[in-house]
Structure 1
Amino acid sequence: MTQEWTQYLSKAGAQFENNTVIHFGQLDEERQQALHGDVITDLSHFGLIKVTGSDAKTFLQGQFTNDVRQVTAKLSQLSALCSPKGRILFSFRLFKRDDAYYLLLPRESVESMLKRLRMYVLRADAKLEEVSESLSRIGVAGANSTQRLTDCLGFAPPIDVDASLTENQVTVLRILGTQPRYLVFGETLQNLWECVTQTAHPAGAAVWQLLDILAGVPQIVPATAEEFVPQMVNYQVIGGVSFKKGCYTGQEIVARMQYLGKLKRRLYLAKIDTATVPQPGAALYVATGEQSVGKIVNAAVHPDGGVVVLAVIQISRAEADEIHWQSQQGECLQLIDLPYSLLEYN
């Protein structure tokens, strides 16, 4: 986050904690607006990695779960970097802007991902650098967000999920959501923020996390790195993995799970009646066993009370037993239908 952008948001009422906007003074109202209105969110808690060079596409293609060849100025994608055992180390969104590839991922994961990727560059003409301070990034969501962005940008944002568009040095990505949601990137976004906030409510990072969870989109953080293969977090359903692209790190394990194995765990959306937000990686249990049957992936406070979570749970247990957080006698998870089809599991 640049100093100029920080100062601008501070004047707009932003409250910061560890360089993250936690709220704009009305957290409860921000959460309500996320469900029933339009919100705009600073996304500086996500970092950016830029990849350039004549071998950038080929290099990234050999590392990521998705088909990098499909990423263009008009199409972004969810993707992941796996360990040789096929477990997700980092999840991110990949997009293209000015002939360079950009990875959007949690800020706390940027340094370790750069280190991991640089291990494999070798002689490839591929330059990797953190550019979190170079591009501002905001999220806009809500029923009226498409029209509001059209009015404020002077051009219509992309309509289809994963579509991308860059005009006047501003890049807009449509992403999965229960209502229209957009990621916006630009060197300076103050004018856009001022325009959108005429009708949209500014909100903190936790509100964007809430919208990701309700959309069924998981975010792998350091606490859950190497815990899940892509199919466990529904990546084959939400467009985060390609089974036709060829080799990449961990590909053999991921493909074997898809074609020869039986998926025993998957991602669930659930609500817990608690005032305490579970941490990523927290264990889940059934009342009759001491062994964990799942883990929390992400969690956020829900405006109607309690918290909502994305959790990877043993399918057989989720279908037959009550799932408890923290212990065999802990709070129960109330499973909720995800906003996308899971027919692929049948």
Structure 2
Amino acid sequence: MTIWNTLLDGTSLRVEGNRIVSDDASADVANVRKGAVMVPLVHLKGIEAQGEEVTDFLHNLFSNDVKKLSADSAQWTSFNSPKGRMLASMLLWHADGGYRLALAADVHEGILKKLRMFVLRAKVALKDGTEDRVLLGVSSDVLAECLAKANLPVPAAPMKCGQRNGVSVIRLDAKRVVIDAPTGAMADIWSQLQAQSVAPAGTAAWNWLDVQNGIPLVTEATQDDFVAQMLNYELIGGVSFKKGCYPGQEIVARTQYLGKLKKRMYHLQGPGNTDAKVGDELFAPAFEDQAIGKLVTVAPAPNGGVEALAVLQIQAAEEGQIFLGSPAGTKLRLAALPYSLDVAQGQ
């Protein structure tokens, strides 16, 4: 994107495909701990949904309750296969009388095509949201003050959003927001944030923050692999068990109420020599040569090594013997998530 090439000129960052790459990714991630950062979210792409029947349309396709989403709120949601496997994880919010979605860039084109196949005669229009808009992530310990001084809306709480002059600010958690803005407005937003000592950072820094917050992103390497609960999606508010049918709903509900879940998403850490990427398989002694899971999100750790979100067999996690790539691969250790996995089925 030309806008990001221009704004990153003179920094140690550059655009490479669907990533913002740093010359020193570990140092880039370490900067997140030192102060405020802003990350061009080129690993995500948007979809705009408009029309008289758009609420019902999205409600009937996604895992969350779109009808109950208030105008100042956002929600995690998913689009699933008929077998209940997640084809995309998405952030959804109101905008311009309709909705916007943010999802992984490498599944964006395919998901947009699939969604359009459901439109038929419905009064719904779906548009590629990257044509004239861009997404920027901001993380700060003094988030509200930072946004206010940059003349941006300040959402009051996580999963709330504010809008002004065509710009949406969606608060993910205590320290992070996603800014959805017209491309022409981003240079001014960037400048205003820089004036508040918000430093540019790469995609690895945002991935690391996702890992710390236990927020998964379904990408091409993990598409159609997991039901929502395996990715802890019901724990972060991405599934409604009280709404009507949607693709895969029967499988997701059965997994919840019959208590047959054998895999969960965990936070893993690896030593400095770990070579890991999204989609790499995991192994455990009790399962011999059978893979027990897969890496979902991977980021360099601030002090070296790697951190990751991974879906794996609950039994293997309880035994604590987890190896990357093969039964003789690098041993990984479990780390804490910000929410409890000890949740009764059916709740």
How high is the TM-score relative to the length of structure 2? 0.93
Provide the secondary structure at the position in 2 that maps to 1:217: coil
The separation in 2 between residues aligned to 1:320 and 1:4, in whole angstroms, is 48
Deviates more, 1:146-155 or 1:104-113: 146-155
Provide the secondary structure at the position in 1 that maps to 2:82: coil
The verdict on how the C-alpha distance between 1:336 and 1:62 changes in structure 2, with shifts beyond 3 A counting, is: same
* Amino acid of the structure 1 residue aligned with 2:167: V
Cα offsets for 1:127-172 (capped at 9, x unmatched): 11102131122111020222111111165x1131110110232211
Q: Which residue is equivalent to 2:68? A: 70
**1:150-299 equivalent positions in 2, closer than 5 A:** 150-153=148-151, 155=153, 157-176=154-173, 179-187=174-182, 188-198=185-195, 199-288=197-286, 289-299=288-298
Provide the secondary structure at the position in 2 that maps to 1:171: strand
Structure 1 consecutive aligned stretches of length 4 or more whose deviation exceeds 6 Å: none
User: How many residues are treated as equivalent by the alignment?
Assistant: 341
The verdict on how the C-alpha distance between 1:33 and 1:159 changes in structure 2, with shifts beyond 3 A counting, is: farther
The verdict on how the C-alpha distance between 1:313 and 1:28 changes in structure 2, with shifts beyond 3 A counting, is: closer
Q: Which residue is equivalent to 1:105? A: 103
The separation in 1 between residues aligned to 2:7 and 2:269, in whole angstroms, is 36
The separation in 1 between residues aligned to 2:294 and 2:25, in whole angstroms, is 27
Q: Which residue is equivalent to 1:32? A: 30
Q: Which residue is equivalent to 1:343? A: 342
Q: Which residue is equivalent to 1:133? A: 131
Provide the secondary structure at the position in 2 that maps to 1:89: strand
Cα contact 1:274–1:331 (8 A) shared by 2: no
Cα offsets for 1:260-293 (capped at 9, x unmatched): 1321110100101144442222111113411111
- Structure 2 unaligned spans of 5+: none
Cα contact 1:142–1:180 (8 A) shared by 2: yes
Cα contact 2:26–2:303 (8 A) shared by 1: no
The separation in 2 between residues aligned to 1:234 and 1:296, in whole angstroms, is 14
Deviates more, 1:11-20 or 1:30-39: 11-20
The verdict on how the C-alpha distance between 1:253 and 1:19 changes in structure 2, with shifts beyond 3 A counting, is: closer
* Amino acid of the structure 2 residue aligned with 1:167: R
Provide the secondary structure at the position in 2 that maps to 1:21: strand
Q: Which residue is equivalent to 1:143? A: 141
Cα contact 1:285–1:291 (8 A) shared by 2: yes
The separation in 1 between residues aligned to 2:18 and 2:204, in whole angstroms, is 14
Provide the secondary structure at the position in 1 that maps to 2:310: strand
Cα offsets for 1:301-336 (capped at 9, x unmatched): 011111001011111121024011101111111101
The separation in 1 between residues aligned to 2:296 and 2:323, in whole angstroms, is 15
* Amino acid of the structure 2 residue aligned with 1:161: P
Q: Which residue is equivalent to 1:332? A: 331
Provide the secondary structure at the position in 2 that maps to 1:270: strand
Cα contact 1:30–1:39 (8 A) shared by 2: no
Cα contact 2:152–2:164 (8 A) shared by 1: no
- Structure 1 unaligned spans of 5+: none
* Amino acid of the structure 1 residue aligned with 2:187: Q
* Amino acid of the structure 2 residue aligned with 1:200: V
The separation in 2 between residues aligned to 1:262 and 1:338, in whole angstroms, is 22
Cα contact 1:73–1:165 (8 A) shared by 2: no
Q: Percent identity?
A: 37
The separation in 1 between residues aligned to 2:259 and 2:237, in whole angstroms, is 20
RMSD: 1.7
Provide the secondary structure at the position in 2 that maps to 1:102: strand
Cα offsets for 1:44-102 (capped at 9, x unmatched): 23111111111111111111001111234300111110000000011110111111211
The separation in 2 between residues aligned to 1:131 and 1:317, in whole angstroms, is 41
* Amino acid of the structure 1 residue aligned with 2:319: A
